[in-house]
A and B are shown apart, each in its own frame.
Chain A
């Protein structure tokens, strides 16, 4: 396993244990195509980013595709490599799924700094339940009356609530690790946006 810095924040330029060449990714060697299990690495480390809410979407995609080419089972068909490749690919796809979605990314960052999981803290921001309930009722009425204009208005308002909440999440996530209060607020804001997500998916 190539070495990396103890603080776990950044992957050092590591050396490949097989060919001793420099390695660009902790998971595979571009030069000799050796694979290295990355069980201890978090999603950011696997893709070579500092843990941060702000991540360049194009750079993330480019990096994801580059590492995918290196580790994908299509290019590591046989032998012991195939199971390492399968696991690395699954890990990489998961990392990309989480990091490319701002809500999941913020939630993951919160988890990394020891914030509580959604399963143990279900609190939401004030007014979210009342707002979603009201929007849901209005949506049902609009649907029943086949009133497309009213339905569009509902959708626009739900979208607006979603966008506002997402902006709050971004602002809080940028301040991580922060104090306990900040982490709780972020948890509640993340819990809240799920109500708007669900509402939007039904609209």
Chain B
């Protein structure tokens, strides 16, 4: 790898995102002209005049216009990425933009009649960070390390990687946020620069040299005396707790736990709920208008921040028609409302310690990361739980990006003495007979790791085996997250139980699953087709990467319509051929249903202007004809046998 290859480190946060890099002087956050490294993770879309393409604003500008542009301002998209509509149902009442179900258990954001995937929105933020880095470094930036919450599952990790790819970045590694923070802590970045907005530091550079021999008392890791630390990371939308052993350049995660739906947004909601209830009681009105919702959200966030510094704050909300809601909220009142959420984080702290077989007394530090750890209640409860004051010397907003940049420099071969060993946060398994979850890899196993399992057939002549791959800790498959249906096909037709297929599940250093299969009797690599339950297909990611949304919408739709119609023609034609050949083997009802489906899909392809609907119909058609396709393949094989 060439020495001047640049890999940036990106913290893609729920509320703010940052980009950093490492040079000879150490890791640096890339800042704006005001000295602020943070880019709000907010996107605003305004329709172009007279059919011109929509205009996109990102960051502070989008955030500043959030209230008047409420329906077209997207924030906290990290809570949606890699999720299905069911997963985010309790978020929906709080969002001022429209969210609907997308294909394959994804969600889509709807603005002015156009649908955006969370990956697309995240890609816009990543693109802004990429451009910021390119301006600062004066060269193209094509590679990045992106951080994710440690508790992100496979779908969320893949979606984040897809967002990077869609932004024109090769994501060389997905790193867990608390692990990145531990890297920054471990190399002795113990004294952060003052808060950017108040800082008089010059824009751009804030050199933080990596000490060659950091000392333990300065927060760095002494050469040989190891230490065990907890990283408590409470961000805008997610919570992670990780226990790490730091020793001699080795950063080993012992255990991790978290909640990808618990963070600053939820603390804001405590205030939002309070105001909503009281407004309803006093004025009999519900807050439903997107602009009012957005105004309340902005207000709640400001009040929450004020209550970290003061013991009370004023709330004032203009309800229109000369109605103004006013009240004073005390810190005690706020803390009373958020206490259950803070206790939830401590329950998880107890769990990671048990998983690591440690007690609070075994820890040298409890390190705080994430903006929400500025709240006094959080600090107080952590101090009580861990029996020591938490370590607050790191800048909670910047440390993750700095850690990502350090990991990037390890990956570019510049830190050969450092070794990062992370774990998988969730158990991985398969659905077994009777709908149970059969674990193959347990949570907190060091990654990369692999497990193999043998499968066979249940029916004579069966040529395909379906495997439902799961992630989660619950006993029942239905309670775990399905990563997708893996279909082993192309097996030679044999008597039931004869084929022996060995499937390898390999979790790579990104915590992302790779599956391969081998038929042991023939020693051949079995065909494996992965139908992900979630997320985007490779083609969709490439499409997003190709079409920047600045392109005219109509062009894109026209292309997509042609592609989809061609696909419809191809699939229906193939199905008709199959029906002519083996249709007599189907039940008459099934045959009639497929014939109706063919006609209906062709009609829809000619008539509809909703391409997403057509895409869904095409996918459903594919599922509805699976059985027919299986029969067709089996017949072809049997016939082949007879002819031999």
Q: Is B506's beta carbon under 8 Å from chain A?
A: yes
Binding-face segment, A64-72, A142-150, A186-194: A64-72
Q: How far is the CA of A77 from the CA of B410 in the complex (A)?
A: 10
Given A74-B411, A74-B419, A86:B445 Cβ within 8 A:
no
B172 within 8 A of partner (CB): yes
Q: Which of B248, B411, B445, B506 contacts A97 (CB 8 A)?
A: B445
A2 on interface, CB distance cutoff 8 Å? no
A89 and B448 in contact, given A65-B250, A77-B172 (Cβ under 8 angstroms): yes
Q: Which residues of B contact A77 (CB under 8 A)?
A: 1, 172, 411-413
- Within the complex, the shortest CB–CB distance from B618 to chain A, in Å, comes to 34
> Bound state CA distance, A69 and B252, in angstroms?
12
User: What are the interface flags for A55-95 relative to B under an 8 Å C-beta threshold, 1 for contact and 0 otherwise?
Assistant: 00000000001001100111101100000001101110110
Task: Give B456 Cβ to nearest chain A Cβ, in Å.
Answer: 15
6 A-B pairs whose Cβ atoms sit less than 8 Å apart in the complex: A68-B419, A73-B448, A75-B410, A77-B412, A86-B508, A89-B509
Nearest A residue (CB) for B354 = A201
Distance of A186 Cα from B419 Cα, bound (Å): 37
Whether A74 pairs with B410 at a CB distance below 8 angstroms is: yes
Q: How far apart are A36's CB and chain B's nearest CB, in angstroms?
A: 17
- A-facing mask of B402-434, CB < 8 A → 1, else 0? 000001001111001101110000000000000
| B449 proximity list for chain A (CB < 8 A) | 90, 93-94
**Total interface residues on B, using CB and 8 Å?**
25
**Nearest opposing residue in chain A for B450, CB measure:** A90
Q: Which residues of A contact B410 (CB under 8 A)?
A: 74-75
Which B residues touch A69, using CB under 8 A?
Answer: 416-417, 419
B76 at the interface (CB under 8 A from A): no
In whole Å, how far is B307's beta carbon from the nearest beta carbon of chain A? 38
Q: Is B446 an interface residue (CB 8 A)?
A: yes
> Per a CB cutoff under 8 Å, which of B1, B412, B413, B447 touches A93?
B447
Given A69-B419, A90-B449, A97-B445, the answer on whether A78 and B1 have CB atoms closer than 8 Å is yes
Q: Inside 8 A of A91's CB, which chain B residues have their CB?
A: 450
A93 touches B250 (CB 8 A): no
Set B248, B446, B506, B509: member contacting A74, Cβ < 8 A = B509
A75 to chain B, nearest CB (A): 7
Q: Which residues of B contact A97 (CB under 8 A)?
A: 445-446
Distance, CA A74 to CA B414, complexed state (A)? 11
Is A105 interfacial (CB-CB < 8 Å)? no
Residues of A within 8 A of B419 (CB): 65, 68-69, 72, 74
* Chain A contact residue count (CB 8 A cutoff): 18
Q: Pick the contact of A94: B417, B421, B450 (CB < 8 A).
A: B450
B530, chain A: closest CB distance, angstroms? 18
> Closest residue of chain A to B412, judged by CB?
A77
Residues of the B chain whose Cβ atoms lie less than 8 Å from the Cβ of A89: 448, 509
8 A Cβ contacts from B150-175 to A: 172-173
A98 to B280, CA, bound (A): 60
Do A75 and B413 touch (CB < 8 A)?
yes
Check if B445 sits within 8 Å of A93, measured CB to CB.
yes
A74 with B448, Cβ < 8 A, contacts A65-B250, A90-B506 known = no
Tell me the smallest distance from the CB of A118 to a CB of chain B, in Å: 15
With contacts A65-B250, A74-B419 taken as known, whether A90 is within 8 angstroms of B448 at the C-beta atoms is: yes
- Residues of chain B contacted by A96 (CB below 8 angstroms): 446
Question: Could you tell me the distance between the alpha carbons of A134 and B295 in the complex, rounded to whole angstroms?
Answer: 62
C-alpha spacing A89/B421, complex, angstroms:
10
Which residue from chain A places its CB closest to the CB of B421 in the assembled complex?
Answer: A68
Q: Is the CB of A86 within 8 A of B1?
A: no
Give the chain B neighbours of A75 by CB distance below 8 A. 410, 413, 416
**Nearest 10 Cβ contacts at the A-B interface:** A90-B450, A90-B448, A93-B446, A89-B448, A73-B509, A69-B419, A90-B449, A86-B448, A93-B449, A74-B410
Residues of chain B from 418 to 476 with CB closer than 8 A to chain A in the complex: 419-421, 445-450
Q: Please name the residue on chain A nearest to B418 by beta carbon.
A: A74
A90 to B508 Cα, complex, angstroms: 8
Give 1 or 0 for each of B502-513: 1 = CB within 8 Å of chain A CB: 000011110000
With both beta carbons as reference points, the residue of chain B lying nearest to A33 in the complex is identified as B416
Encoded as 1 (CB less than 8 Å from any A CB) or 0, chain B from 115 to 135 comes to 000000000000000000000
Give the residue name and chain of the B residue nearest to A75 (CB): B416
Closest to B172 in A: A77
Contact across chains for A73 and B508 when beta carbons are under 8 A apart: yes
Of chain A, the residue at the smallest CB distance from B446 is A93
A75 to B420, CA, bound (A): 10
CB distance from A34 to the nearest CB of B (A): 15
The minimal Cβ–Cβ distance linking B246 to chain A, given in whole angstroms, is 12
Report B324 CB to chain A, min CB distance, Å: 52
Q: Mark A174-198, 1 if CB is under 8 A from B, else 0.
A: 0000000000000000000000000
Q: List residues 214-272 of chain B with CB under 8 A from any CB of chain A.
A: 248, 250
Distance in angstroms from A4 CB to nearest chain B CB is 23
Give the complex CA separation of A93 and B407 in angstroms.
20
A86: B residues at CB distance < 8 A: 448, 506, 508-509
- Which B residues from 271 to 289 make CB contacts under 8 A with A? none
With both chains docked as a complex, state the minimum distance between the C-beta of B258 and any C-beta of chain A, in angstroms.
21
Q: Report the minimum CB–CB distance from B389 to chain A (whole Å).
A: 30
A134 to chain B, nearest CB (A): 25
CA distance A158 to B173 in the complex (A): 44
Bound complex: CA A162 to CA B169 (Å):
52
Instruction: Pick the most buried of A89, A90, A96: most chain B CB atoms within 10 A of its CB.
Output: A90
Contact A93:B448 (CB < 8 A) given known A65-B250, A86-B509: yes
Q: Tell me the minimal C-beta distance from A157 to chain B in angstroms.
A: 20
Given contacts A75-B410, A78-B1, A89-B448, 13 further A-B contacts (CB under 8 A): A68-B419, A68-B421, A72-B509, A74-B407, A75-B413, A77-B1, A86-B448, A86-B506, A86-B509, A90-B450, A90-B506, A91-B450, A93-B446
Query: How far is A73 from B419 in the complex, measured between Cα atoms in Å?
Result: 10
Give the CA-CA distance A73 to B450 in the complex, in Å.
Answer: 14
Write out the residue numbers on chain B whose beta carbons fall within 8 Å of the beta carbon of A74.
Answer: 173, 407, 410-411, 419-420, 509
Q: Which residues of B contact A90 (CB under 8 A)?
A: 448-450, 506-507
Residues of chain B within 8 A of A94, CB atoms compared: 449-450
A21 to chain B, nearest CB (A): 17
Q: Which of A149-178 contact B (CB under 8 A)?
A: none
Distance between Cα atoms of A74 and B445 in the complex (Å):
18
Q: Which residues of B contact A78 (CB under 8 A)?
A: 1
The minimal Cβ–Cβ distance linking B454 to chain A, given in whole angstroms, is: 12
- Interchain nearest-CB distance for B248 vs A (Å): 8
Which A residues are CB-close (under 8 A) to B448? Answer: 73, 86-87, 89-90, 93
Q: Roughly how many angstroms separate A89 CA and B447 CA in the complex, as a whole number? A: 8
